[in-house]
Amino acid sequence: MSKPVKEIIMRDYRDRLGDIEDVTVITLRGIDANSNNEIRSSLAAKDISVTIVRNKLFLNAFQGTSLTTLEPVLTGSSAVAYGGESVVEVAREIVALAKQHEQLELKGAILDGILFEGKAGVEALSKFPTRDEAIAQDVALILGPGSKLVGAIKGPGSGLAGIIKAIEEKLENGEEITKV
């Protein structure tokens, strides 16, 4: 392959991925055309793209970025899946599709420069919370102690208010209040 053609391919990779630094690497080898279209369509419906890559050209195109961490998993036939809200969502979708299509090989994924290698790595990544889920968990952790404190402060006060209300009702009915 000539150098200008290689440059065109690398430019295409950079254009497609843009500034994305978190991707999942899979292999579609051995999957028939109908299944391949089914996989790509279901991913596209969730705004996830799949691009078949030439391993060395891909690494050269993203030299100096965190995507070069993928080098150990970029062997043989490779495709990168990216997009969606996060790479965790991409991993979840691909793990679900791998259960339907046994030939779909999970090679690895990268999140914040950390490589999740092999099928076990991608499955572990798919169990991580997405950004929105993580924010919700953080908010719950932050608000939890405050709500417990409010309950602790409010509890005795409401008990005292109940006693005062009972005394008031007894006095209104003309009953006598005995000392304890």
What is the C-alpha separation between 99 and 160, in angstroms, rounded?
59
Query: Do 73 and 155 sit in the same domain of this protein?
Result: no
Query: For residue 180, what pLDDT is reported?
Result: 65
Query: Do 69 and 124 sit in the same domain of this protein?
Result: yes
Query: Do 123 and 68 sit in the same domain of this protein?
Result: yes
pLDDT digit string, tens, across residues 112-167: 888 888 888 888 888 877 777 777 877 877 877 777 767 777 767 677 777 788 88
Query: Do 56 and 77 sit in the same domain of this protein?
Result: yes
Query: Do 27 and 111 sit in the same domain of this protein?
Result: yes
Q: What's the domain count of the chain?
A: 2
Domain residue limits at 149:
136-180
Query: What average pLDDT does the segment 47-66 reach?
Result: 89
Give the residue, 55 or 1, on which the prediction is more confident.
55
Query: Do 124 and 140 sit in the same domain of this protein?
Result: no
Mean of pLDDT over the chain: 84
Query: For residue 20, what pLDDT is reported?
Result: 86
What is the C-alpha separation between 87 and 106, in angstroms, rounded?
14
User: Which H or E element spans position 135?
Assistant: helix 131-172
Query: Do 103 and 177 sit in the same domain of this protein?
Result: no
Query: Do 24 and 44 sit in the same domain of this protein?
Result: yes
Percent of the chain with pLDDT over 70: 93
Query: Do 163 and 79 sit in the same domain of this protein?
Result: no
C-alpha distances out from residue 145 to 139, 142, 149, 153, 154, Å: 11, 7, 6, 12, 14
Say if residue 73's pLDDT is above 70.
Answer: yes
Query: Do 157 and 104 sit in the same domain of this protein?
Result: no
- Six-digit token string for 171: 């006095």
Query: What average pLDDT does the segment 31-58 reach?
Result: 90
Query: Do 49 and 9 sit in the same domain of this protein?
Result: yes
pLDDT digit string, tens, across residues 78-114: 999 998 888 888 899 999 988 888 888 899 999 888 8
Say if residue 63's pLDDT is above 70.
Answer: yes
Helix axis angle, 118-126 to 87-100, nearest 10°: 120
Query: Do 148 and 102 sit in the same domain of this protein?
Result: no
Q: What is the CATH number of the domain that holds 38?
A: 3.30.70.1730
pTM equals 0.70
Query: For residue 65, what pLDDT is reported?
Result: 86
User: Which H or E element spans position 105?
Assistant: strand 105-111
